[in-house]
Amino acid sequence: MKKYLVAIALLVFIGACSSNKASDNKTTDAPAVAAAPANDLSSNPDYQKGVELIAKSDCLTCHKTDSKLIGPAYKDVAAKYENNDANVAMLASKIIKGGTGVWGQIPMTPHATLAEADAKALAKYILLLRK
């Protein structure tokens, strides 16, 4: 099990450190400065809470709002899943437990210490990005 976790950590580190000439334009993809959707969500409390939680987490190591990094873009996740309570619960569970296979074979690191309420807030934020 320890070898598996070390291998995952190494993959994440290599992916995060690899150079991609197309993305060397020195722009950031922080949710707080991402382009506002057509309907401005900045005053939505679920959106604000999600931005706050993502800023304090390691999420942006593998995910971006608009484009695939190691994991899928948040907007791609939002496009795949309808914004409802069942999907919020399912995505929150995946955030906490991790997983693989839905978006490829690179596993998502579990966030076992994340409170369920915070995982649900992250899922709500992501699903708000659906167009």
Where are the domains positioned within the chain? Answer: 2-19+42-128
pTM: 0.69
Q: What is the model's pLDDT at position 42?
A: 81
Task: Write phi, then psi, for 63 (nearest 5 degrees).
Answer: -125, 150
Q: How wide is the angle at C-alpha 72 spanned by C-alphas 32 and 13, nearest 5°?
A: 85
Give the CATH number of domain 2-19+42-128; options: 1.10.1200.10, 3.40.710.10, 1.10.3080.10, 1.10.760.10: 1.10.760.10
- Cα dihedral 21, 24, 49, 43 in deg (nearest 10): -110
Write down the mean pLDDT value for the chain: 80
Q: Shortest CA distance to 114 belongs to which of 54, 45, 72?
A: 54
pLDDT tens, 48-89?
999 999 999 999 999 999 999 999 999 999 999 999 999 999
